[in-house]
Amino acid sequence: MAGKDIDDAEKRHDQLTTAPKSTEEDAEARIDVIEPHDGAPRRIEIRDDAEVRPGGDPSLGSAAGD
């Protein structure tokens, strides 16, 4: 995709699927952004179905090198 008229979602999809071994699954959403209505700050939550999650593998215990 080239051009100035593509939106952020299209740019993200293009970036995540252009690698030689990438798949459509690579471009699937991994977070949910929640915009509150009461003036509270925006919340960003990792989706339950995300394969990759921040914080490392919980089955490994503490971080390596501790």
For the stretch 20-45, pLDDT in tens is 998 888 888 788 888 888 888 888 88
Q: Which pLDDT belongs to residue 1?
A: 46
Percent of residues, the chain, with pLDDT higher than 70: 80
pTM greater than 0.75? no
Q: Which pLDDT belongs to residue 59?
A: 74
CA distances from 24 to 2, 17, 47, 62 (A): 19, 6, 17, 33
Between 13 and 57, the higher pLDDT residue: 13
Q: Which pLDDT belongs to residue 37?
A: 83
User: How many other CB atoms are there within 10 angstroms of residue 29's CB atom?
Assistant: 11
Backbone torsions φ then ψ of 19, nearest 5 degrees: -65, 150
